[in-house]
């Protein structure tokens, strides 16, 4: 039997009440309560809900259920949001279904209605809030209070219950008559056992109970499954209670995204919320195996009884739910995001510390900024292409080269967004990405790139994997950094936790090439790919070396499609004045024709054309647009001339902004640049009235500067802009470096820093917060002084010999290092003048300091000497100066890494400095700290340094590290043929020396495939036949 279907047509606006169910059982009960069922109505293509329409009394009702298998606040909010978007006149939604009652008040078969209690609005989210000392938890999310019409109706329901009793039994009797097939499941209340176990008794599941075989028929199996949760529990632990009739309770319902099956946690939750919780909504999924149908029917019957007391006129006066639910949806999405990030991903302080120890780099804000700049529809051609779909499903690599300004970075952001949207909820899929940036070479060295990938993959896990936690524990105690090998091994370990991994690398060409970082990173990615099935997406300019590395891979050339370019220009013109909009088609056609698929050039040309004030001027500007190989230079030249033609104050500000951004040693935030530009010669503190507005800083630069809103970074629009300004620096910014140097020193000389030596970390953080330019000035004043040819200048010397000013700078440098805070308190006890000069490579200043009586071998933090700093950072002139003196220890080692100056020079590939040190009498060429100089040179694939060290008879070519790996094993593990060949050519090298895991160097080479250096073994006539045969077998496989 079915309920009556109303034939007369209805519209979406006729429906005022929404009814959302979490489970099919609940939906069945809801439909059974309808007095009438209505015909279906159309819905938008993006609405995935399935609706049942009908009426209860005078109310037209829309019923929808969460998708099969989906639970939680986000799924419910999505269903509700789609519902009110399709049925825009809905005034409120009811969430009706099964929950878990909290004893002693609530029993099996009771009804709980969410109503406001004290400070709580009725429904509180139990898995989102703030942890406090003592284990308490403050909830910070709750749903809005119910509409007044419902609250008023509830008071009438309560009164009617007191007077005549509930109508729930009547509605259940109606259900039995109208839907007899449902009666056996939905009305079997007498068969349900309400067992309450003691709160401190732990549930015993089937998996933990004694194993035994029980033969039962199908009917018995159904009954048994229905009671499976407590079949193995000790009934002696139950609480005895007197039987009573079903009751309706009014109070708090706790809602969340995780099941609560733990009675102890349930009791604590209730205590935290003042003892007002009557029901836990998300326990419904656990109850679904026990007694869903009857509970769903009772809940639906009460909902019908409630609607019977709601006056239609009251509903009409209520605002529509669309705005309210949109807000709730946003709140819940934010809550879910926070839960994922804070609770499920890394909610422990220690976890966050581990990730920050690994690397502080976070590309999330940068990605958001880039993706927000796209024009809607841009890049769809790539996402729908066969090549992209094949890559997602089967292929290993997709390489997308393109000319400068073609939109490669925007395309990468679109790919990242597509994958995170498609697989964001799939914890078996790992996603990591890197945006290459020519201004971030320090943080994009090979070792740091691996750390960044590892961090992102770890963030996809619900907790820190044991492999990373073990690595952190090992190094945190010693205040050391993990080696590249350790990071790589941990990366492979974490990768094994995923079934698929996507890695996107934008702008490979902008990764540092001079130290081998780019090549080593690619080698590691390909090795990673062969072992872990990684799917690699990469973009680059057409650089032969890079293009060659992707030979044989699926390739799509990135070039702006005509529709993308016209859409881009359409968006720009729509934001412009009437003159440009009137001649829209002409402007789009001429610019698109000139730029040859380069978005950046289109932006520059549009900025140029948009300044014209008459149609004649616009046509002249369009006719003068540059194209071809010099198009960018000509466009930049015109833009700089336009900037120079502004009024004096605007021109001066633009030149300051551009010179700072172009000459800075790293990217700057808007706050940093505001403070830098506000520094004046005689100031002893920053004058906040002298801060430029960000919008003015950007506007005077005529489109050459942009601000990333998410990260707060102010930057040039493209690396070609940087390239142009670098080549024309003497023309546009001839005194930029001296001005920047003086601004840094003046800032560090403010009264805020005099004698300001923080021994408490919170004090230091407060100092940073109040002085945004402090960190940059501390780290870079010396670098700018060197570039400005100010080495030896009196102002530099005066600053170094003023401890009250210098300590603040040194403190900032040390505090930014991993584990550096542990040494902060030592700084004030040390002579920092000479080590600081050596650190920055200020050789002339250093000479003056030594002539003034400062010690050449003065020890800095962790016993670092000036020679160690100079050797590590490649300051050849400083090394020569120090070695010319007789009062330094050339073999001094620091107390953390146990490295000597020679080790540091070898590690960083400074071959000339290595040669200078080896020529020094008494040098320990084979010093054994954690590794010998030869080992670190081989591990970091510095061929020239390896050659120098092998030429020494006092260097052991087979020295081993803590894992008993020789230099040959370390080089073979890196897959660097040149270094492997150098070592094998040395008669003293043992080619088959096994390490602590009984692995010979050859096995590392074979592991890296054709580029792994294995051929060097086969070509070496002096090696044993057995390993040669093994290699041939490995290559063949």
11-44 pLDDT per residue, tens: 888 899 999 998 888 999 999 999 999 988 988 8
| Token output for 747 | 């800032």
Calculate ∠ Cα 567-571-574, nearest 5°.
130
622-663 pLDDT tens trace: 988 887 778 888 889 999 999 998 999 999 999 999 999 999
> Residue range 392-410: average pLDDT?
89
Q: Provide the pairing of β-strand 397-401 with 535-540.
A: parallel
Highest mean pLDDT among 200-214, 287-301, 323-337, 533-547: 533-547
Calculate ∠ Cα 141-147-152, nearest 5°.
130
Distance (Å, rounded) from C-alpha 911 to C-alpha 949?
A: 10
- Per-residue pLDDT at 204: 60
Mean pLDDT of the chain: 82
Whole-number Cα distances in Å, 529 to 422, 501, 502, 534, 1015: 22, 9, 10, 4, 21
CB of 507 within 8 A of CB of 437?
A: yes
538, HSE (Cβ side, Cα atoms, 13 Å): 26
- Per-residue pLDDT at 417: 94
Distance (Å, rounded) from C-alpha 361 to C-alpha 32?
A: 56
User: Which residue stretches of 94-196 are H helix?
Assistant: 148-164, 168-178, 183-186
* HEC sequence for 400-416: EEECCCCCHHHHHHHHH
- Per-residue pLDDT at 290: 42
- Per-residue pLDDT at 254: 78
> Residue range 853-860: average pLDDT?
86
Q: How confident is the model at residue 209 (pLDDT cuts 50, 70, 90)?
A: very low
- Per-residue pLDDT at 113: 87
704-745 pLDDT tens trace: 999 988 788 999 988 889 989 999 999 999 999 999 999 999
CB of 213 within 8 A of CB of 172?
A: no
Residue 576 reports pLDDT greater than 50: yes
Higher per-residue pLDDT: 289 or 898: 898
Q: Give the three-class secondary structure for 51.
A: strand
Distance (Å, rounded) from C-alpha 299 to C-alpha 114?
A: 12
Find, among 484, 513, 516, 505, the residue nearest to 553 by Cα: 505
Torsion of CA 978, 982, 984, 987, to 10 degrees: 170
> Residue range 300-326: average pLDDT?
81
Distance (Å, rounded) from C-alpha 372 to C-alpha 472?
A: 36
- Per-residue pLDDT at 346: 43
- Quick one: DSSP state of residue 998? S
> Residue range 531-551: average pLDDT?
90
994-1020 pLDDT tens trace: 777 777 777 776 666 555 555 555 555
Residue 407, by phi and psi: left (phi above 0), alpha (psi -120 to 50) or beta?
Answer: left
Tell me the sheet residues that pair with 254.
124, 280
Q: What class has domain 357-555?
A: alpha beta
| Strands of 500-506's sheet in order across | 429-435, 500-506, 535-540, 397-401, 554-555
Cβ count near 201 (within 10 Å): 15
Q: How confident is the model at residue 207 (pLDDT cuts 50, 70, 90)?
A: very low
CB of 554 within 8 A of CB of 398?
A: yes
> Residue range 183-194: average pLDDT?
69
Measure the N-to-C terminal CA separation of the chain; round to a whole number of Å.
69
Cβ count near 644 (within 10 Å): 11
Q: Measured in whole angstroms, how far is the alpha carbon of residue 975 from the centre of its chain? A: 30
Find, among 1026, 1020, 935, the residue nearest to 981 by Cα: 1020
pLDDT above 90 coverage of the chain, percent? 37
Find, among 847, 844, 872, the residue nearest to 860 by Cα: 872
Whole-number Cα distances in Å, 66 to 17, 331, 374, 648: 17, 19, 33, 63
Residue 182 reports pLDDT greater than 70: yes
103-133 pLDDT tens trace: 778 887 788 888 777 666 667 766 554 434 3
Tell me the sheet residues that pair with 308.
none
Residue 552 reports pLDDT greater than 60: yes
> Residue range 564-578: average pLDDT?
86
| Token output for 449 | 């790139």
Q: Give the three-class secondary structure for 941.
A: coil
> Residue range 444-464: average pLDDT?
91
- Per-residue pLDDT at 183: 86
Residue 188 reports pLDDT greater than 80: no
| Token output for 239 | 């609480």
CB of 869 within 8 A of CB of 838?
A: yes
Q: Which run of H or E residues covers position 684?
A: none
Distance (Å, rounded) from C-alpha 780 to C-alpha 767?
A: 18
Torsion of CA 161, 19, 323, 328, to 10 degrees: 90
Cβ count near 363 (within 10 Å): 18
Higher per-residue pLDDT: 831 or 590: 590
The radius of gyration of the chain from alpha carbons, rounded to an integer in Å, stands at 35
Q: Measured in whole angstroms, how far is the alpha carbon of residue 818 from the centre of its chain? A: 20
pLDDT above 70 coverage of the chain, percent? 80
549-558 burial: b if 16+ Cβ within 10 Å, else e: bbeeebebeb
Higher per-residue pLDDT: 769 or 291: 769
Query: Which residue matches tokens 């609250």?
Result: 151
465-503 pLDDT tens trace: 999 999 998 888 777 888 888 999 999 999 999 999 999
Q: Give the three-class secondary structure for 34.
A: coil
- Total residue length of the chain: 1037
What are the φ/ψ torsions at residue 788 (nearest 5 degrees)?
-85, 5
Find, among 329, 315, 334, the residue nearest to 18 by Cα: 315
- Per-residue pLDDT at 796: 95
170, HSE (Cβ side, Cα atoms, 13 Å): 7
> Residue range 442-447: average pLDDT?
84
CB of 73 within 8 A of CB of 336?
A: yes
Query: Which residue matches tokens 């070519």?
Result: 957
Find, among 586, 580, 584, the residue nearest to 614 by Cα: 580
Q: Provide the pairing of β-strand 129-131 with 137-139.
A: antiparallel
Residue 334 reports pLDDT greater than 80: no
- Per-residue pLDDT at 729: 93
Q: How confident is the model at residue 264 (pLDDT cuts 50, 70, 90)?
A: low
Q: How buried is 20 (Cβ within 10 angstroms: 0-12 exposed, 13-18 middle, 19+ buried)?
A: buried
Residue 525 reports pLDDT greater than 70: yes
| Token output for 1018 | 């086969």
The residue ranges of every structural domain in the chain are 357-555, 562-628
Q: How confident is the model at residue 142 (pLDDT cuts 50, 70, 90)?
A: very low
179, HSE (Cβ side, Cα atoms, 13 Å): 22
Find, among 264, 263, 252, 15, the residue nearest to 146 by Cα: 252
Cβ count near 1010 (within 10 Å): 10
- Per-residue pLDDT at 567: 84
Q: How confident is the model at residue 680 (pLDDT cuts 50, 70, 90)?
A: very high
Distance (Å, rounded) from C-alpha 586 to C-alpha 231?
A: 79
Which distant-in-sequence residues (6+ apart) come within 8 Å of 668 by Cβ?
A: 660, 661, 676, 713, 714, 715, 776
| Token output for 822 | 């542990």
Higher per-residue pLDDT: 51 or 4: 51
Cβ count near 755 (within 10 Å): 11
Distance (Å, rounded) from C-alpha 901 to C-alpha 202?
A: 61
414-430 burial: b if 16+ Cβ within 10 Å, else e: bbbbbbeeebeeeeebb
What are the φ/ψ torsions at residue 69 (nearest 5 degrees)?
85, -5
Calculate ∠ Cα 427-432-435, nearest 5°.
155
Number of helices (H) and strands (E) in the chain: give both, helices first.
50, 21
Calculate ∠ Cα 493-352-261, nearest 5°.
80
908-931 pLDDT tens trace: 999 999 999 999 999 999 988 778
């Amino acid at each position: 039997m079915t309920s009556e279907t109303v034939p007369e047509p209805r519209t979406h606006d006729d429906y005022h009440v929404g009814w959302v169910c979490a489970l099919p059982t609940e939906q069945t009960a809801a439909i059974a309560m309808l007095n009438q069922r209505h015909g279906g109505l159309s819905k938008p293509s993006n609405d995935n809900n399935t609706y049942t329409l009908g009426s209860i009394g005078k109310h037209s009702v829309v019923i929808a259920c969460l998708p099969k298998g989906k639970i939680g606040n986000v799924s419910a909010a999505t269903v509700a949001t789609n519902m009110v978007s399709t049925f825009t006149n809905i005034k409120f939604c009811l969430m009706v279904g099964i929950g878990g009652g909290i004893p002693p008040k609530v029993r099996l078969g009771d009804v709980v209605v969410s109503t406001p209690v004290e400070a709580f609005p009725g429904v509180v989210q139990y898995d989102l809030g703030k942890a406090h000392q003592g284990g308490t938890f403050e909830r910070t999310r709750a749903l809005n209070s119910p509409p007044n019409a419902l609250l008023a109706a509830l008071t009438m329901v309560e009164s009617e219950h007191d007077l005549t009793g509930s109508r729930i039994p009547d509605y259940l009797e109606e259900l039995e008559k109208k839907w007899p097939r449902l009666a056996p499941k939905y009305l079997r209340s007498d068969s349900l056992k309400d067992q309450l176990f003691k709160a401190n008794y732990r549930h015993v599941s089937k998996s933990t109970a004694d194993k035994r075989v029980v033969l039962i028929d199908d009917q018995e199996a159904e009954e048994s499954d229905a009671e499976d949760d407590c079949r193995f529990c000790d009934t002696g632990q139950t609480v005895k209670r007197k039987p009573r009739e079903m009751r309706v309770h009014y109070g708090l319902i706790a809602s969340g995204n995780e099941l609560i099956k733990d009675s102890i946690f349930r009791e604590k939750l209730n205590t935290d919320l003042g003892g007002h919780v009557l029901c836990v909504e998300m326990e419904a999924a656990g109850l679904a195996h026990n007694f869903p149908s009857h509970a769903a029917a009772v809940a639906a019957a009460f909902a019908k009884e409630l609607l019977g007391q709601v006056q239609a006129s009251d509903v009409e006066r209520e605002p529509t739910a669309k705005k309210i639910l949109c807000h709730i949806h946003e709140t819940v999405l934010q809550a879910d995001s926070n839960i994922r990030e804070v609770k499920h991903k890394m909610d422990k302080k220690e976890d966050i510390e581990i990730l920050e120890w690994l690397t502080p780099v976070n590309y999330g804000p940068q990605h958001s900024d880039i993706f927000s700049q796209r024009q809607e529809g841009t890049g769809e051609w790539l996402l729908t292409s066969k090549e992209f779909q094949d890559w997602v499903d089967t292929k290993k690599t997709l390489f997308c080269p393109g000319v400068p300004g073609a939109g490669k970075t925007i395309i990468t952001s679109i790919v990242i967004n597509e994958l995170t949207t498609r697989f964001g909820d799939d914890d078996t899929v790992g996603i990591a990405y890197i945006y290459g940036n020519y201004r971030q070479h320090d943080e994009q060295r090979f070792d740091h790139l691996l750390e960044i990938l590892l961090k992102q993959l770890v963030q996809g896990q619900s907790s820190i994997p044991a492999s990373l936690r073990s690595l952190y524990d090992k190094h945190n105690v010693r205040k050391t950094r993990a080696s590249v090998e350790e990071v790589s091994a941990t990366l492979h370990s974490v990768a094994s936790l995923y079934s698929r991994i996507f890695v996107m690398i934008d702008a490979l060409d902008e990764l540092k090439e001079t130290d081998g970082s780019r090549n080593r990173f690619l080698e590691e990615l390909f090795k990673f790919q062969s072992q872990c099935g990684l799917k690699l997406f990469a973009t680059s300019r057409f650089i032969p070396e890079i293009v060659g590395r992707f030979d044989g891979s699926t390739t799509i050339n990135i070039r702006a499609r005509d529709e993308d370019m016209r859409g881009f220009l359409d968006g720009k013109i729509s934001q412009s004045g009437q003159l440009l909009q009137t001649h829209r088609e002409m402007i789009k056609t001429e610019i698109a024709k000139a730029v040859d698929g380069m978005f950046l050039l289109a932006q520059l040309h549009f900025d140029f054309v948009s300044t014209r004030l008459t149609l004649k001027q616009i046509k002249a500007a369009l006719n003068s647009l540059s194209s071809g190989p010099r198009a960018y230079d000509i466009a930049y030249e015109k833009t700089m001339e336009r900037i120079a033609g502004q009024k004096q104050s605007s021109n001066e500000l633009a030149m300051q902004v551009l010179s700072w951004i172009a000459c800075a040693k790293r990217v700057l935030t808007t706050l940093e640049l505001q403070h830098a530009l506000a520094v004046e010669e005689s100031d002893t503190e920053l004058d906040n009235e002298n801060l430029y507005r960000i919008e003015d800083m950007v506007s005077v630069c005529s489109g050459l500067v942009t601000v990333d809103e998410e990260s707060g970074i102010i930057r040039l629009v493209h690396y070609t802009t940087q390239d142009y300004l670098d080549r024309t620096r003497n023309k546009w910014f001839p005194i930029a470096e001296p001005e920047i140097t003086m601004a840094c020193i003046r800032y560090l000389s403010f009264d805020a820093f005099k004698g300001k030596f923080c021994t408490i970390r919170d004090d230091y953080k407060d100092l940073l917060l109040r002085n945004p330019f402090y960190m940059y000035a501390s780290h870079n004043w010396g670098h700018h002084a060197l570039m400005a040819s100010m080495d030896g200048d009196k102002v530099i010397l005066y600053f170094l010999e003023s401890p009250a000013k210098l300590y603040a700078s040194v403190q900032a440098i040390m505090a930014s290092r991993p584990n550096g805070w542990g040494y902060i308190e030592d700084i004030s006890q040390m002579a920092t003048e000479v080590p600081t000069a050596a650190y920055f490579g200020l050789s002339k200043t250093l000479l003056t300091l030594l002539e003034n009586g400062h010690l050449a071998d003065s020890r800095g933090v962790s016993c670092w000497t000036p020679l160690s700093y100079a050797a590590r950072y490649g300051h050849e002139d400083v090394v020569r100066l120090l070695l010319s003196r007789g009062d330094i220890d050339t073999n001094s080692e620091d107390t953390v890494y146990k490295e000597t100056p020679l080790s540091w020079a070898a590690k960083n590939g400074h071959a000339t400095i290595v040669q200078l040190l080896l020529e020094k009498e008494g040098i320990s060429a084979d010093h054994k700290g954690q590794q010998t100089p030869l080992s670190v040179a081989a591990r970091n694939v510095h061929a020239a340094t390896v050659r120098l060290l092998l030429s020494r008879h006092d260097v052991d070519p087979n020295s081993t590290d803590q894992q008993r790996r020789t230099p040959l094993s370390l080089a073979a593990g890196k897959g660097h043929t040149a270094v492997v060949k150098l070592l094998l050519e040395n008669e003293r090298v043992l080619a088959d020396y096994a390490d602590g895991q009984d692995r010979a160097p050859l096995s590392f080479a074979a592991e890296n495939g054709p580029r792994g250096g294995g051929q060097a073994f086969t070509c070496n006539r002096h090696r044993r036949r057995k390993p040669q045969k093994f290699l041939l077998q490995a290559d063949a496989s």
